[in-house]
Chain A
Amino acid sequence: MTAAGETGIVFRNVSKFYGEVLGVNRVNLTIPPGITSLVGPNGSGKTTLMNLLAGLVRPSRGEVTVLGIPPEEPERLFQVVGYCTQFDSYPPGASGREFLLATLALHGCEPAAAARKAQAALERVKLAEAGDRKIAAYSKGMRQRIRLAQALCHDPQVMILDEPLNGLDPLARAETVALFKQLGSAGAYLVISSHVLHEVDAISDQVIMLSNGYVVAEGQIHGVRAEMREHPLQVRVRCSHPHALAAAVIGHPQMLDARVLEPDAWGSPGLQVTTRDADALYAEINRLMAANRVPGLDIVSIAPADDDAGSVYQYLVGEAGGGA
């Protein structure tokens, strides 16, 4: 078995065409361990990329390897890959546990090991009590969790999860995100597609943004945002004297704009500064505070306003990405 982290997940100049329809084009990627989110509007190539990764479709050009294993070797590949599709498909009449046992049997687990793993997977997705009920009687969220369980139950090193948070209630969502983070921080590879951009921010170690079959950005979201020099950064400062602070910072050569904000829910007024260099702004505010240039200034918080996945996505994909 290939060790985790040996070669990562690699796409080398991969293109996939469905007849004359473009799936993805000239994709070069190396996906490291941790949580990687695929973001893009409908038809941008997210599912094609996942299917290429899972060996369910073959590239028209280029090659894909998962921990050094090509998709032409399903016996080896699927021992290290778990795939959670969007499809709601189960053996008729099966309970959650039976579904997992069948899945594990297909992965080559002996019955005793399969029983242990099925129980562990049910506990992981908080379905231990409902494990012996028929899947047909599950709620939408429970079905989503059993789908997730079948992708995780054989302890794969790579998990490909297509919209895994769909249909989950807030509590289940939080528990599932915690599970992803635990797996990601332990060194597993999680490739997740999601339309919920604030969740992408919350869970991802890195993002891959797609538009019309092309990878338009990849990496850690803050790094991607920092590279977008044509879009100056927005920094939101919650403070006691926003007008005075605006007057003090606007003269700095890196500052482009300052706008006073309405008080937030806690009654704290604020200022939104547009800058070419966020670090320069932070240094300037430190200098102002140290020199007491704005008497009585009390800073409550300073945070970037547009280096989240939603903003980056909006800048890169624009209005075309409205579907995501």
Chain B
Amino acid sequence: MAVYKQTYRGYEGPTTPEWSRALILYRYALRAVFRSKLLLGFYLICFVFPLVDLIAIYVANHASFLAGLGIRNFFAINRSFFYSFVHYQCVFAFLYTAFAAPGLVAPDLAHGGLALYLARPLRRFEYLLGKILVLVALLSGLTRVPGLFLFAVQCVMGGAAWRSANAWLGWSIFAASWIWIIGLSLLALAVSAWIKWRVVAGAALLGIYFFGAGLGGAMDLVLNTQNGGLLDFMQLHLLVWSDLFRLAPPPLALEREAWAVLIVLALGSLALVLRRVRPLEVVR
């Protein structure tokens, strides 16, 4: 008969708040992303385009400088300028995500790490929140933050008249970036959760982008329609953004359909992630 002295005491000290656990995962995952020199370098390269646009804003607002160069018709800083900025910067963000996102969930699934994480005071929701926050932070840094910064610079340089006429553009940049960030983060997490190999997951994400665009284009060509854009991840967003930026509607008004496809895509991605991210993989 064993005699238990009952001297063992578990930890009874203070603990950090429950809500902060997701932030710990976020912090560690973000650190892991930036530990890669390749990803850090790529991230910095993604700021070249905002830098070029910043110079363009400066030049466009200095008529004397343009006159000195003998340029009379430099492009205007308006809704089209910011629409183009969001468009091209989001392409960079997508490429960056294809490299960075697969490392977030795929390794945990490949090595049984989820059992390790979820055998902690951490729920599935908090695990996913911690991981998605990394993408939200990275993509915000590439899209929302520089977009709003450029807008703020233009507001200062453009004067009160420009500001009062274009104040709504700030909201457009903010909303367009968020739509992209949420949709892309969920899609990337879903791909990362279902494909255990990082390289394959990254390739699959790029495949979704390019294959969708190609398929949409082929569909338009063969069937002589313009609905193919609904299969193109970028085109879907452009359709929605053209509405947000109050641009002339495309020949076939598909904004509502594009909104519907984006919502279905986001919910579908979320469902896929939730289905996959479980403490144990049960193989029947």
Write the residues of chain A forming the contact surface with B, with a CB cutoff of 8 angstroms: 1, 4-5, 18-21, 33-34, 51, 54-57, 74-81, 83, 85-93, 102-103, 105-110, 113, 117, 150, 154-157, 183-188, 205, 220
Question: Across the interface, do B28 and A102 meet the contact criterion of CB distance under 8 Å?
Answer: yes
Question: Across the interface, do B115 and A80 meet the contact criterion of CB distance under 8 Å?
Answer: no
Q: List residues of chain B with CB within 8 A of the CB of A76.
A: 121
Question: Across the interface, do A54 and B15 meet the contact criterion of CB distance under 8 Å?
Answer: no
Q: Which 5 A-B pairs have the closest CB atoms?
A: A108-B15, A87-B112, A89-B113, A83-B119, A89-B111
| Nearest CB in chain B: distance from A2 CB, A | 9
Question: Across the interface, do A183 and B120 meet the contact criterion of CB distance under 8 Å?
Answer: no
Choose from B1, B32, B117, B119 the contact partner of A93 (Cβ within 8 Å). Answer: B32
Question: Across the interface, do B280 and A56 meet the contact criterion of CB distance under 8 Å?
Answer: yes
| Nearest CB in chain B: distance from A53 CB, A | 10
Question: Across the interface, do B6 and A110 meet the contact criterion of CB distance under 8 Å?
Answer: no
Using A34-B2, A34-B4, A78-B119 as known contacts, say yes or no to A106 and B24 having CB atoms under 8 A apart. Answer: yes
Question: Across the interface, do B119 and A157 meet the contact criterion of CB distance under 8 Å?
Answer: no
Q: How far is the CA of A228 from the CA of B4 in the complex (A)?
A: 28
Q: Is B122 an interface residue (CB 8 A)?
A: yes
Using A88-B111, A155-B9, A156-B10 as known contacts, say yes or no to A107 and B279 having CB atoms under 8 A apart. Answer: no
* Inter-chain contact total with CB atoms closer than 8 Å: 139
Q: In B1-22, which residues have CB < 8 Å from any A CB?
A: 1-18, 21
Q: In B254-284, which residues have CB < 8 Å from any A CB?
A: 279-280, 282, 284
Closest partner residue, chain A, to B22 (CB atom): A106
Q: Is B196 an interface residue (CB 8 A)?
A: no
Question: Across the interface, do B16 and A92 meet the contact criterion of CB distance under 8 Å?
Answer: no
Q: How far is the CA of A198 from the CA of B146 in the complex (A)?
A: 65
Question: Across the interface, do B15 and A89 meet the contact criterion of CB distance under 8 Å?
Answer: no
Question: Across the interface, do B3 and A185 meet the contact criterion of CB distance under 8 Å?
Answer: yes
| Nearest CB in chain A: distance from B281 CB, A | 11
Q: Is B56 an interface residue (CB 8 A)?
A: no
Question: Across the interface, do B13 and A81 meet the contact criterion of CB distance under 8 Å?
Answer: no
Q: List residues of chain A with CB within 8 A of the CB of B108.
A: 89
| Nearest CB in chain B: distance from A74 CB, A | 5
Q: How far is the CA of A124 from the CA of B119 in the complex (A)?
A: 21
Closest partner residue, chain B, to A33 (CB atom): B4
Question: Across the interface, do B119 and A80 meet the contact criterion of CB distance under 8 Å?
Answer: no
| Nearest CB in chain A: distance from B255 CB, A | 42
Q: List residues of chain A with CB within 8 A of the CB of B14.
A: 110
Q: Is B167 an interface residue (CB 8 A)?
A: no
Choose from A4, A85, A113 the contact partner of B112 (Cβ within 8 Å). Answer: A85
The total of chain B residues at the interface (CB under 8 A) is 43
Q: How far is the CA of A51 from the CA of B116 in the complex (A)?
A: 11
Q: How far is the CA of A220 from the CA of B2 in the complex (A)?
A: 10
Closest partner residue, chain B, to A5 (CB atom): B6
A–B pairs, 16, beta carbons within 8 Å: A77-B121, A85-B112, A85-B115, A87-B115, A88-B112, A89-B113, A92-B32, A102-B28, A106-B21, A106-B121, A108-B15, A109-B13, A155-B10, A156-B10, A156-B11, A187-B8
Using A89-B116, A155-B9 as known contacts, say yes or no to A205 and B282 having CB atoms under 8 A apart. Answer: no
Q: How far is the CA of A265 from the CA of B207 in the complex (A)?
A: 70
Q: In B110-166, which residues have CB < 8 Å from any A CB?
A: 111-113, 115-123
Q: List residues of chain A with CB within 8 A of the CB of B112.
A: 85-89
| Nearest CB in chain B: distance from A171 CB, A | 25
Q: List residues of chain B with CB within 8 A of the CB of A103.
A: 120
In the complex, which of the residues B17, B32, B117, B120 has the most CB atoms of chain A within 10 Å of its own CB atom? B120
Choose from A74, A155, A186 the contact partner of B122 (Cβ within 8 Å). Answer: A74
Given A1-B10, A76-B121, 15 further pairs, Cβ under 8 A: A19-B284, A56-B280, A74-B121, A78-B121, A78-B122, A79-B10, A85-B115, A89-B108, A89-B112, A103-B120, A107-B121, A108-B21, A154-B11, A186-B6, A188-B8
Using A78-B119, A185-B2 as known contacts, say yes or no to A56 and B279 having CB atoms under 8 A apart. Answer: yes
Q: Is B107 an interface residue (CB 8 A)?
A: yes
Q: List residues of chain B with CB within 8 A of the CB of A89.
A: 108, 111-113, 115-116
Choose from B13, B28, B107, B121 the contact partner of A113 (Cβ within 8 Å). Answer: B13
Q: List residues of chain A with CB within 8 A of the CB of B280.
A: 51, 56-57
Q: How far is the CA of A183 from the CA of B6 in the complex (A)?
A: 10
Question: Across the interface, do B113 and A155 meet the contact criterion of CB distance under 8 Å?
Answer: no
Q: How far is the CA of A113 from the CA of B119 in the complex (A)?
A: 20
Closest partner residue, chain A, to B113 (CB atom): A89
Choose from B1, B25, B35, B119 the contact partner of A85 (Cβ within 8 Å). Answer: B119
Question: Across the interface, do A186 and B120 meet the contact criterion of CB distance under 8 Å?
Answer: no
Q: List residues of chain A with CB within 8 A of the CB of B2.
A: 34, 184-185, 205
